[in-house]
């Protein structure tokens, strides 16, 4: 847990210092390859697949991935939740392509069907 918070703070600071976080320009998330041995900050229970690193980096910056993993929301609800996080929580607004990759990943791994299949 402490390591995740530290990584989130480090990632946030790096984005701020690099000028990627500003009111004028939404940040770009640059996925980072996991260290040797295959471990990364997202953990082995963060599903593999297209958008894994991008979505993990976007989420872990503000909160635990456990929050994401327990949701089981529809794509529409994930989309509304992203809007809420931008409007109410200060999350940066991502460009349409980045947002689509994030929504695709969330729907595929943490959508309604994923919740039903785990029951």
pLDDT per residue as tens digits for the range 31-62: 555 544 455 788 889 999 999 999 999 999 99
- The 3-state DSSP composition of the chain as helix, strand, coil percent (nearest 5) reads 55, 0, 40
Looking at residue 36, what is its pLDDT?
46
pLDDT digits (tens, 9 = 90+) for 64-103: 999 999 999 999 999 999 999 999 999 999 999 999 999 9
Closest CA to 5 of 85, 63, 66: 63
pTM of the model: 0.66
Q: Report CA-CA distances (Å) from 105 to 5, 51, 86, 88.
A: 22, 6, 19, 23
């Amino acid at each position: 847990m402490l390591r995740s918070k530290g990584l989130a703070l480090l990632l946030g600071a790096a984005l701020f210092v690099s000028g990627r976080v500003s009111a004028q320009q939404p940040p770009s998330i640059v996925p980072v390859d996991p260290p040797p041995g295959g471990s990364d900050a997202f953990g082995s229970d963060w599903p593999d697949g297209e958008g894994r690193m991008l979505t993990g980096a976007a989420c872990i910056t503000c909160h635990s991935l456990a929050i994401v993993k327990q949701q089981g929301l529809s794509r529409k609800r994930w989309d509304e939740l992203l809007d809420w996080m931008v409007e109410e929580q200060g999350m940066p607004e991502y460009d349409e392509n980045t947002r689509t990759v994030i929504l695709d990943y969330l729907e595929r791994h943490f959508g309604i069907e994923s919740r039903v299949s785990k029951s």
